[in-house]
Amino acid sequence: MKKALILIFVLFNVAAAPAQAVPDKKALEGLEVLRRGFAELTDFTAEITQEKQLALMKQKMVSRGVIRFRKPGTFYMELYPPNGSLLLMRDNVLTIRLPEQGMTDRMVLPPEQSLEKWMAFLSRPITTLPEGMEVKGVRQGDNWTVHILPAGTGGVKELQITFDLEGRIRRLTIEERNRDRTVIRFTSMRRNVGLKEKDFQLN
């Protein structure tokens, strides 16, 4: 679940950072494909498989779960037991529940880091790239991969987003500076299915 938080904050930084003077054209093209994919949906759901490789361990930790999103600003992620967890974000209010540990944490993010702000960013054509991070785009056949490399010495070394030509995300990869690596694969993605409020409950 920590990796999902890292992903959310990196994406917010991409949306909020000042623009680069000379953007990478492939990165702009790839991000525009991803933007159009989000612009054309009202909601989506997908099954996920998370593979976590810690630098100090040889064996991968594999978890399965589900992810759901509904415009303008509701995001849900569940990892099934063992070590199950639930994450719910409503605009800028983030709640994480660890049922097996009986723990629930709630965090209120600054308004500029709200999901609605991120959706507003994606509603407009992308013509610039943010400063403070390197962004590259690579197309291979029917898939794009956008590489986001934050500057500085923070925990994230690189974030990779792989998606198809319709902007459907297939894989997210988080490379950390301590050599930990997390891969989240998306399967059985369905868009515009009419998700209801009951689909976003931390039960």
Does pTM top 0.85 for this prediction? Answer: no
Average pLDDT of every residue of the chain: 83
Confidence of residue 16 (pLDDT cuts 50, 70, 90): very low
Confidence of residue 188 (pLDDT cuts 50, 70, 90): very high
- pLDDT > 70? residue 2: no
Q: Which letter, b or e, does each residue of 66-95 get, where b requires 16 or more Cβ atoms within 10 Å of its Cβ?
A: ebbbbbebbbbbbbeeeebbbbbbebbebe
Among residues 9, 38, 13, the alpha carbon closest in space to that of 129 is found at: 13
- pLDDT > 90? residue 7: no
Beta strands in 73-142 (DSSP E): 74-79, 85-90, 93-98, 103-108, 133-140
Q: What is the pLDDT of residue 130?
A: 65
The owner of tokens 């930084």 is 13
Q: What is the pLDDT of residue 23?
A: 63
Query: Please, are residues 172 and 181 in contact by the beta-carbon 8 Å criterion?
Result: no
- pLDDT > 80? residue 145: yes
Q: What is the pLDDT of residue 155?
A: 76
Residue 94 pairs in a beta bridge with: 89, 107
State how many domains the chain has: 1
Highest-pLDDT range among 21-25, 72-76, 120-124: 72-76
How is residue 165 annotated by DSSP? T
Q: What is the pLDDT of residue 92?
A: 85
- Look up the domain containing 106 and give its range: 2-200
Q: Could you report the per-residue pLDDT of 151-168, keeping only the tens digit for each?
A: 777 777 888 999 999 999
- Rounded Cα gap, residues 57 and 53, in angstroms: 7
Q: C-alpha 128: how far from its chain's center? A: 20
Residue 95 pairs in a beta bridge with: 88, 106
Q: What is the pLDDT of residue 184?
A: 92
Contacts of 151 (CB under 8 A, 6+ apart): 132, 133, 134
Q: Which residue has the higher pLDDT, 134 or 194?
A: 194
Q: What is the pLDDT of residue 80?
A: 93
- The two structure tokens encoding residue 75: 């995001």
How is residue 32 annotated by DSSP? H
CATH number at residue 125: 2.50.20.10
- The two structure tokens encoding residue 123: 């509603």
- pLDDT > 60? residue 25: yes
Q: Could you report the per-residue pLDDT of 47-96, keeping only the tens digit for each?
A: 999 998 887 777 888 999 999 999 988 999 999 988 889 999 998 888 99
